[in-house]
Amino acid sequence: MIEVTNPMEVQDFARHYAALTDEELLRLALTPDQLTDDAMLALNAELGIRRLATPEHLANFREQETERKREIARNTGEFFLRPYGIGRVRFGKAERKTDSESGLEEFTTTLFVVLFWLPLIPSGTYRVRLLSTRGFLRRDIRVIDRLPLNWAQVWRVWATAAGCIALLIAALYLLVRFT
């Protein structure tokens, strides 16, 4: 049995948990080892009030949460354009394979953290499958596997970015010099 050490603390947790959504409560219930005894007592009481304390509810939510985390892991960000050039962008298409029958394309790409459209920090290399091409900028991409960072691809992306910056600086210099 859980011993209540400070009744006021339990009441504070109870008020807080009463304001949470069912999803937020169930997410807390999935990690009971991270809660204090008082928090767990208040959580169990709130789950009971909402009739969410059954093993079936927790098992179903655990499956949904696992699938949600898989979907988040599969999402590697936008392909090219990001508002204000800040976010995550995939660069490169190495080891490309195309299936002529289905039209599916598989390739290795590296995900970068970008700032002002410049690839700064590589955050992972992925084997992806291009499921369909809907227009130039919209593509449905599925992550097949996460791979070790492909440093050859990273260096090519950084070299290309440095070359583009150098060309831009040279063009601006020539524009200012000859006007």
pLDDT single digits (tens) 1-50: 455 555 558 888 888 888 888 888 888 888 888 888 888 898 899 999 98
Give the pLDDT of residue 79.
46
Which of 18 and 136 is assigned the larger pLDDT? Answer: 18
- Helix/strand/coil (H/E/C) assignment for every residue in 91-133: EEEEEEEECCCCCCEEEEEEEEEEECCEEEEEEEEEEEEEEEE
- The predicted-structure confidence for 49-64, as pLDDT tens digits, reads as follows 988 888 888 888 888 8
Domain ranges of the chain: 7-72, 76-177
Nearest Cα residue to 84 out of 110, 111, 112, 114: 114
Alpha helices in the chain (DSSP H): 7-18, 22-29, 37-49, 55-74, 151-177
Cβ atoms of residues 133 and 139 within 8 Å: yes
**Spacing of C-alpha 142 from chain mean position:** 13
Q: Is 80 exposed, middle or buried (0-12, 13-18, 19+ CB in 10 A)?
A: exposed
